[in-house]
Structure 1
Amino acid sequence: MWALRRASYPLKNRGFNIRASRTSCAKSEVESCYSNEEYCNSDSCLVISDGYKALKRFYSTSHGSSKFLTGWCSFSSQAHSKGSDQEEDDLEDGFSELESPASVDEESGDELISEPELSDGEDDGDVVKEPQNELELSDTEADVTEKRSPRKRASSALFNAILVAPGFSVQTALDKWEDENDLTRSEIWLAMLNLRKRRMYGKALLLSEWLESTKRLDFVERDYASRIDLIAKVHGLHKAENYIEKIPETFRGEIVYRTLLANCVAANNVKKAEEVFNKMRDLGFPITSFVCNQLLLLYKRLDKKKIADVLLLMEKENVKPTLFTYGILIDAKGQSNDITGMDQIVESMKAEGIEPSLHVQATLVKHYVSGGLVEKAEAVLKEMEGGNIKENRGTCRTLLPLYAALGKAEDVGRIWKVCEPNPNLGECMAAIEAWGKLKKIEEAEAVFDMMLKTWKKPSSKHYSALMKVYANHKMLAKGKDLVKRMVDNGGRIGPLTWDALVKLYVGAGEVEKADSMLQRAAQQNQMKPMFTSYMAIMDKYAKRGDVHNTEKMFHRMRQAGYVVRLRQFQALSDAYINAKAPAYGIKERMKADNILPNKGVAALLAQVDPFRKTAVSDLLD
């Protein structure tokens, strides 16, 4: 049971309709972790146990109604929570990580890289990547009793047949393959896993459609959920939601809806995520740790004020925080520059017997570095290393860029020496990133050359590591040469490469070149550019006071399928300010997109308000 500790801000003012028990509020000794203001009333109190006291209310400032719930809270979806650990058995067929730290810039809202960003079949390393979203691969299919090694996964005959099939001829290739081979659920699982691992969602969807249309597989809820996930990735949330209506009602369960929810969160679509959450509550699905983690993940990015609401929901539903929960909360505190609060959450986590993972430790180091707390960062890094870095080789990939962020070239060199005799791709990419941060371009290039000699055909993802180094140092000529080199070696250009090229051109002052290049690339390849690619161009136009082109980028991002966020309106406001022009109707546009300004954006809006009062206007009036 969770003991009474502290109240949250009255939720009735925010449209979050939870009727908590009537009770009094005790002031916590970890008050410094949160706002100094204390709120409590007889209708709404946040109850948290001694072990979870650092999870109390995150923010207590009032904000406008989110209209989050209508009578009840409802979010959902996680591969580890149906209220118990049994949910791991619910997802087979390889749900890919909806987001992973290695591929997503969460602050900018980058979504998964599209299909052509293929790997060459080699793993980046042995380090287990912790996903930012818990809808993960499950290895519990009845006839798949052992987790397969990456190399064995790559040997799937069905996957290889799909891989070589061009475009929409996949289904023809499948018909031919089945004539010569036995099609088992195990083989299907393996092929789907490999397709998802390489983010070949289009071909994975074609495989799923073929299985259903030809009735080669008796679909169960997990199969439909996998299909929902693929449709959302390939065609968007709307098509995925429409497909749910076609699923037989007996299979239209929690797994299907939580899969849709997780994709809403991955797309940063608050409105749609909340709609799905409410739908799930209406259908009577339980509140689980995955549900709450999805909420926390979404609001950590877009509206940290609502984190308190989720914590209250967890308390009311007696949902205990997981390691993933603590990781989100720690990162949220770090992003808010509340290092004291971040540390107290870590202590609370340890008090519950949950030790920080490698990913959580890396998050702590990142925020310590940004806060100038070098000694604290070094202490965590030493803890991550352990007693013998050679025996703890799995941490090298994570340690390299973190030591570089501290400016410690000697430690980067020391860690790299452990990897250098026999590095994996992930370690090579981490080393390139680290040397780039330290402005040691030759060392980064040497690692890249080693990578090319060891792996004959790295993917564009691996070229992008060096591309980012060139972009960060405005080395346009070298960046162009690297792209030509990649194409000559058979590499495929996709959103990661475009992103690096855009930043190269923008850094060199050639924003128009970056703009036209990105537009042509998207049109010719029918792929979605990254969020950061658009924002790099939009920010540059805004800095110039080029309202027309800033508005154009705003519109193109919407056309590309990106949900409008505060970040775009901030750039738009900057453009009008730098152009010394009034922005008519910008507040109404934000309201239409359900965007609430923070303090900084509110100040910008005041500057571009055509009807604002000034000392001169008062005199003239």
Structure 2
Amino acid sequence: MMNYFSRNGSLCVGITRPCSVKNELLNGYVEDNTCVVESHMSVSCGSPYFKRFYHQSNAFPRFSITKCGFSSQAGAKSSGEEDDLQDGFSELETPLGSDTTTESNLDDEKADESASDADVSDVDGDEESPEDELEILTDKGKGRSIRAQSQLFQAIISARSVENALDKWVEDGKDLNKDEIWLATNNLRRRRMFGRALQLSEWLETRGKIDFVERDYASRVDLIAKLRGLHRAETYIEKIPESLRGEIVHRTFLANCVAAGNVKKAEETFNKMRDLEFPTTAFTCNQLLLLYKRLDKKKIADVLLLMEKENVKPTGFTYRLLIDSKGQSNDLDGMDQIVEAMKAEGVELDISTQAVLAKHYAADGQKMKAESILRDMEGGDLMEHRSACPLLLPLYAELGKVDEVRRIWEVCERSPRANECVAAIEAWGRLKKIDEAEAVFNGMVKRWKKLSATQFSAMLKVYANNKMLTKGKDMVKQMADSGCKISPLTWDIIVKLYVESGEVERADSILHKATQQNLMRPMYSTFMSIMSQYSKRGDVHNAEKLFHRMRLSGYTARITQFQSLLQAYINAKTSAYGMRDRMKADNLFPNKAVAALLARVDPFKKTPVSELLD
């Protein structure tokens, strides 16, 4: 098997020709960041004698950021950890669901999946389904609108269980054709009712009602990965008939590895696809770019080199990822160069790409450029370009344009869509207009009988950012009373609500209790928001404990974790023994900043006095 990832984790494509790369995109990433080296060693990348792009920084961490570790063992309990959840959060102690839903509790998803008629209509008409690019929904070419309502879908969400609904459907002699099944599945997916979509798929297979094709199996893999984790999805793949275990199944699994932030598993899956001689497509390359943009930008050049070697043409999504990556690195000149390369290739700048550009211009203080792009996004008539409104609202808020936010919202306010309401709440929150944000939220409560976690979280985030702890507690109680499922993102906001209010121990207690009850796998940033506060205090014990709990939650170690941990030792004015060895055990190499911190906590470092004594 040819391995396309070398031991240090970088993508290796085994190029034997000189690396005078002409591709403008690649040049933009190679320039100033990489150098060409010639290797005479036989490595796992295929060719024993090759030239490739090698990053001067030898830090290639392997880590996960998911819902998808690691170094110390901390034994004692942190302060406040034994406390019961109080102050309005005790209502959330009863498990409401998990990203790792097991087979035994799939039927107990009534809290978030019993949709009323009002909830059913609450789907953003212009929102693109995430399954569209995966192409895992079958029979899309039969002319039925993806927004059409399905009688089967209505029967499923109205019944106590999916099995009962389907059994009754058959008993009543109703037609169960592939077109109706596709439409029901699509409706379930678009409303994120993945548990019921999985039960529908399982019922169809066990009853033998349809002959499964590869896309049906790929859809099942996607649902299992979302609900039960990557391991269960990978196990299921092995049970799929070999003739139907093709590219779509594997790329669906790859996309879920990327969504989970599991670098190791994503790279293994990519290698397997190459070994099975599946074609290298823009989709698979985009998945790697998405992964590395989030976790390791140094590897982006390697993916671009592979794309050039394999003659894979960049898509609009490819360009958007590269533009965003440059913007995140504050390289706006490089961002502009990618835009020019995009235009030269005749690729249109869609509103999502324009929004990314405007966001980075606004963050850099280039307000005129940002406003010019926003006007282009409006297209002269907002009613005709209404899909731009959810993007425009927070961007105008970022620029501090209160009147523009009000103007955009007035277009939406007469018949608001869910994503427009969420965007408006976010925009008013950024502008510190709490009353306006609450007015939008209250309008949603009146319009729709049952709100989603996303809608609640938007208002909760406004309270967290403005340190309005009491209102935040009331909002969480309202979520619990409505039976809304608490997602990792919502828990992240709840924790940060307490952190921003200075109640770090309470935030830690809430997070610990939620994790113990298996409500969720916390987000990486949730842990880090607490850990950074302990570090500032010089609380080494609790910082180490957070470090260990991140490992237990399935996160591989990252350089930022060690950086925060080292800062705790520095602020505590104490030495850290064996820290370099701990990093080495996790296959991490210190960058300049971390190396400087290591030197400061080294118990064996030389001082003028110690040198004299030696």
TM-score surpassing 0.5? yes
Equivalence map 1:38-53=2 (5 Å): 39-40=35-36
Gaps of 5+ in 2: 1-5, 41-51, 63-97, 102-108
Closer/same/farther in 2, CA of residues 26 and 258 from structure 1, 3 Å limit: closer
- Is 2:48 aligned against 1:64? no
Question: In 2, distance between residues paired with 1:295 and 1:422?
Answer: 39
- Contact 2:198–2:224, Cα closer than 8 Å, also in 1: yes
Partner of 2:206: 213
Deviation at 1:452, TM superposition (A): 1.9
Distance 1:440 1:519, change over 3 A: same
Check if 1:599 corresponds to 2:598. Answer: no
- Give the 3-state SS of the residue equivalent to 1:287 in structure 2: coil
- Aligned pair partner of 1:540 in 523, 533, 543: 533
Residue 393 of structure 1 corresponds to which residue in structure 2?
386
Shift of 1:172: 5.0
How far the C-alpha of 1:562 sits from its partner, in A, is: 3.8
Find the counterpart in structure 1 of residue 565 from structure 2.
572
Give the direction of change, closer, same or farther, for the CA distance of 1:33–1:344 in structure 2 (3 Å limit).
farther
CA distance in structure 2 between the partners assigned to 1:117 and 1:607 by the alignment = 50
Say whether 1:18 aligns with 2:18.
no
After superposition, the C-alpha distances for 1:583-615 in whole angstroms (9 at most, x for unaligned) are 333333334434444433333333333444444
What per-residue deviation string (whole Å, max 9, x for no partner) do you get for residues 472-514 of structure 1? 0000011112223344445444434322221111111112222
1:555 maps to what in 2? 548
1:473 aligns with 2:433: no
Correspondence for 1:283 among 255, 276, 288:
276
What's the % identity of the aligned pairs?
58
| Match of residue 185 from structure 1 | 178
CA shift at 1:141, angstroms? 0.8
> Following TM superposition, by how much is the alpha carbon of 1:198 offset from its aligned partner in structure 2, in angstroms?
2.8
Superposed CA offset, 1:317-347 (max 9, x none): 1111110110111011111110000001001
* Aligned pairs for 1:398-477 within 5 A: 398-477=391-470
Candidates 146, 149, 152, aligned match of 1:148: 146
Residue in 1 aligned with 2:576?
Answer: 583
Are the counterparts in 1 of residues 100 and 228 from structure 2 also a CA contact under 8 Å?
no
1:266 to 251, 254, 259: 259
Deviates more, 1:562-571 or 1:293-302: 562-571
Question: 387-396 or 21-30, which moves further after superposition?
Answer: 21-30
Structure 2 residue 312 is matched with structure 1 residue 314: no
Distance 1:20 1:436 in 2: 54
Distance 1:523 1:112, change over 3 A: closer
Kept in 1, the 8 Å contact 2:452–2:484? The answer is yes
Q: Give the number of equivalent residue pairs.
A: 551
The question of whether the paired residues in 2 share the 8 Å contact of 1:265 and 1:294 is answered with: yes
Counterpart amino acid of residue 604 in structure 1: L
Shift of the 602–361 alpha-carbon distance from structure 1 to 2, 3 Å rule, reads farther
Shift of 1:356: 1.0
8 Å contact from structure 1 (residues 117, 461) kept in 2: no
TM-score (norm 2): 0.80
Structure 2 counterpart of 1:125, which letter?
Answer: D
Per the alignment, residue 89 of structure 2 pairs with: none
CA distance in 2, matches of 1:484, 1:216: 44
Q: Which residue of 2 aligns with 1:128?
A: 127
CA shift, 1:433, in A, is 0.7
Aligned pair in 2 of structure 1 residues 204, 585: CA closer, same or farther (>3 Å)?
A: farther
Structure number with higher relative contact order (C-alpha < 8 Å, ≥ 6 residues apart): 2
What is residue 219 of structure 2 aligned with on the other side? 226
TM-score normalised according to structure 1 size: 0.80
Corresponding position of 1:257: 250
Shift of 1:419: 1.8
Query: Compared with structure 1, are the counterparts of its residues 209 and 308 closer, same or farther at alpha carbon in structure 2 (3 Å cutoff)?
Result: same
Separation (CA, whole Å) in 2 of partners of 1:321 and 1:146: 30
Conserved 8 A contact 1:14-1:67 = no
Q: 1:568 to 1:494 in 2, by over 3 A?
A: same
Q: Gaps spanning 5+ residues in structure 1: where?
A: 1-9, 45-57, 69-110
Contact kept? 1:590, 1:596, Cα under 8 Å: yes
- What is the alpha-carbon distance in structure 2 between the residues aligned to residue 481 and residue 237 of structure 1? 36
Q: Counterpart of 2:144 in structure 1: which amino acid?
A: E
Matched, 1:175 2:167: yes
Query: Which of 492, 503, 512 is matched with 1:510 structurally?
Result: 503
Summarize deviations over 1:340-363 as a string: whole Å, max 9, x none: 000010011011111211111111
1:489-504 equivalent positions in 2, closer than 5 A:
489-504=482-497
Offset from partner CA, 1:16-56 (integer Å, 9 cap, x none) = 24124247577989978763478457899xxxxxxxxxxxx
2:302 equivalent to 1:325: no
* CA offsets 1:297-316 (integer angstroms, 9 cap, x no match): 11111111111111111111
Please say if residues 163 and 203 of structure 2, whose CA atoms lie closer than 8 Å, have aligned partners that are also in contact: yes
Q: Contact (CA 8 Å) 1:33, 1:338: kept in 2 or not?
A: no
